[in-house]
Amino acid sequence: MNSDKVKAGVQRAPHRSLLRACGLNDDDFEKPFIGIANSYTDIVPGHIHLRELVEYVKQGIREAGGIPFEFDTMAICDGIAMNHEGMKYSLASREIVVSTVESMTMGHCFDGLVMIPSCDKVVPGMLMAAARLDVPSIFVTGGPMEPGSFKDKNADLITVFEAVGELSSGKITEEELYELECCACPGAGSCSG
């Protein structure tokens, strides 16, 4: 196992000592170490539910005989970062995701990875990391956001962006824009639109 680099033999006693501080025991050192790259954050709708997914993944890894190790990556919401200086950081964040996954995997000698991404910079960032690492990897995405409903029609983030233009041209009122804003993105998931 790749993880033997951090857990097997007398030279790895210091490594095992640190791993014991994380709750591992003798039996755990015979099992594969599986990294879980989680892009949870509570400011991005596509990621707010990923902690719950991770718990199921951890359970599955344990049931399959592995030891799960969760670590976080960053996630920037393009929709929130749009139309201000923050947009300059969105694409660059993909490279930070790649580097985070690669660094954590190489630094801790994981035998496999489960990537839990969402949204359009984190998914490719984790895919790029998997390609660089050549470590067995599984992806479990957060899935799409369901559309909202406005005036008996589906509404989503794109609908809200378009409505800002409609307000400027007098096609809708501020009250209608507000109603749409409040219902177009009803819950967790990658932006619908």
Axis-axis angle for helices 122-133, 87-108 (nearest 10): 30
Q: CA-CA distance, 164 to 177, in Å (whole number)?
A: 7
Tokens in use for 152? 């008996």
Query: Is residue 157 a contact partner of residue 184, using CB atoms and an 8 Å limit?
Result: yes
Q: With DSSP H G I counted as helix, E B as strand and the rest as coil, what are the percentages for the chain, rounded to 5?
A: 50, 15, 35
Q: Is 168 exposed, middle or buried (0-12, 13-18, 19+ CB in 10 A)?
A: exposed
High-pLDDT (> 90) share of the chain, %: 96
The model's pLDDT over 85-109, given as tens digits with 9 standing for 90+, comes to 999 999 999 999 999 999 999 999 9
Calculate Rg over the CA atoms of the chain: 21
Q: CA-CA distance, 104 to 107, in Å (whole number)?
A: 5
Average pLDDT, the chain: 96
Please compute the mean of the pLDDT values over residues 128-141 and round it to a whole number.
96
The model carries a pTM of: 0.92
Enumerate the domain spans of the chain: 31-139, 148-183
Q: Which CATH superfamily is domain 31-139 in?
A: Glycogen Phosphorylase B; (3.40.50.2000)
Categorize the per-residue pLDDT at 191 as very low, low, confident or very high, splitting at 50, 70 and 90: confident
Q: CA-CA distance, 133 to 139, in Å (whole number)?
A: 14
**What are the φ and ψ backbone dihedral angles of 148, each rounded to 5 degrees?**
-90, -170
